[in-house]
Structure 1
Amino acid sequence: MATSVASPSPVTARRTTIAMKLVMAVSGALFVLYVIAHMYGNLKVFGGQQAFDDYSEHLRSLGEPILPYSGFLWVLRIVLIFALLAHVYSAFYLWSRAQGARTTGYAVKKAVAATISARFMRWGGVALLFFLVFHLLQFTTNTIRANGDYPSPYQRVVAGFQVWWVVLIYVIAMVALGMHLRHGIWSAAQTLGWTSSARARGTANTLAIIVATVVVVGFLLPPLSILVGFVK
């Protein structure tokens, strides 16, 4: 006699969906804080080699002697890896739930404003994952040496961004990041219940646009300034 596996009840499925949205919102918030801090660090390049190299060394010695040399960076990397896994898993779970819901059909479909950032959210996230691997191979492990190998972090950054195709990859990735941030911050605000009124929705949307714009401009200033020769 065949036994059937009971499917999750609508209440359980709804609770799981809400939980996944919270996971996505919290993990996304961690990444927003990280990219802002990373953007600030990148802007140190305008202070010259000494300022940038001192900043890079400070990150490695942060937490000593409680933590070993580079210990803080490894703790940060581990936290970010777990946050990334949680973010990706929740994203694909919610996507699969949405796809399943579409196949069964709805009596009434809710109209959703289709912004550019929303339409490219999923594939933009995949593109960012590939860029993250490229970025780590270039500036963390020093595996990709687009314009020579240098001992100084400042020299590696300047040499790397003197190559036009490296800057082009960076520009495309930052545009994708801006779209991801704009839509992600808005979605997180909705998940956390911060868009219950028209005024709150307007505030959340404005905040999302401001954060996305500041991050994109802040990240693009160093590579473009290096490419045109303003920073050498």
Structure 2
Amino acid sequence: NMLVLGIVILGFICYHLTHFWAKMQLPEMFGIGVFENNPYLLLNATFGKWWLLVMYIIWFAALFLHLTHGFWSMFQTVGWDGKTWFKRIKVIGVIVAGIICLMFTATAINAFLQANGIIGA
């Protein structure tokens, strides 16, 4: 499971970096052009496609699983794995990962709705 999850996350990190970061930063860094500095338009153009929104939601679900495991695993590695605190740390990990992933998902859904004219900007 961890291998599949890692491959999914790595694939979307690569896609995300090439689609968002590289389109805005690389042309200016190498002097081959200047990107119109409007990430809002890029966000709406990207998430205006329903299939890409679905793929990102799947990625955020994978990221949630990765973060929940990583949070408690981090504490276990440094020795905080006692019976009393281990359950609490797992719950805190779920809350933290949930907030992070819900906010990213809300951003993607909002951009999709705005790009398709379902809600106003």
- Could you say which TM-score interval applies, normalised by the shorter chain? 0.7 to 0.9
Task: Note the C-alpha offset of 1:126.
Answer: 1.4
Q: How does 1:194-209 map to 2 (within 5 A)?
A: 194-196=80-82, 198-209=83-94
In 2, the alpha carbon distance for the partners of 1:231 and 1:177 equals 29
Structure 1 or 2: larger helix share?
2
1:139 aligns with 2:24: no
In 2, the alpha carbon distance for the partners of 1:133 and 1:123 equals 15
**Which residue number in structure 1 is paired with residue 63 of structure 2?**
177
Instruction: Provide TM-score, normalisation by structure 2.
Output: 0.79
Q: How does 1:37-76 map to 2 (within 5 A)?
A: none
Unaligned runs of 5+ residues in structure 2 are 25-34
Instruction: Provide TM-score, normalisation by structure 1.
Output: 0.43
**Which residue number in structure 2 is paired with residue 155 of structure 1?**
41
Relative to structure 1, is the Cα distance of residues 151 and 231 closer, same or farther in structure 2, using a 3 angstrom cutoff?
A: farther
Task: For residue 142 of structure 1, give the secondary structure of its aligned residue in structure 2.
Answer: helix
Equivalent position amino acid for 1:175 in 2: A
Ranked by relative contact order (alpha carbons within 8 Å, sequence separation 6 or more), the top structure is 2
Equivalent position amino acid for 1:216 in 2: C
Task: Note the C-alpha offset of 1:122.
Answer: 2.6
Q: How many residues align?
A: 107
Which stretches of structure 1, 4 residues or more, deviate above 2 A after TM superposition? 228-232
Aligned-pair RMSD on alpha carbons?
A: 1.9
In 2, the alpha carbon distance for the partners of 1:216 and 1:231 equals 24
Q: Which of residues 213, 221, 226 in structure 1 aligns to 2:98? A: 213
Greater Rg by CA: 1
Unaligned runs of 5+ residues in structure 1 are 1-119, 144-148
Relative to structure 1, is the Cα distance of residues 228 and 175 closer, same or farther in structure 2, using a 3 angstrom cutoff?
A: same
In 2, the alpha carbon distance for the partners of 1:151 and 1:163 equals 21
**Which residue number in structure 1 is paired with residue 72 of structure 2?**
186
Equivalent position amino acid for 2:57 in 1: V
For residues 63-111 of structure 1, give each alpha carbon's deviation from its aligned partner in whole angstroms, at most 9, with x where no partner exists. xxxxxxxxxxxxxxxxxxxxxxxxxxxxxxxxxxxxxxxxxxxxxxxxx
Relative to structure 1, is the Cα distance of residues 184 and 154 closer, same or farther in structure 2, using a 3 angstrom cutoff?
A: same
User: Does the CA contact (< 8 Å) of 1:121 and 1:179 recur in 2?
Assistant: no
User: Does the CA contact (< 8 Å) of 1:177 and 1:216 recur in 2?
Assistant: yes
Task: Note the C-alpha offset of 1:199.
Answer: 1.7
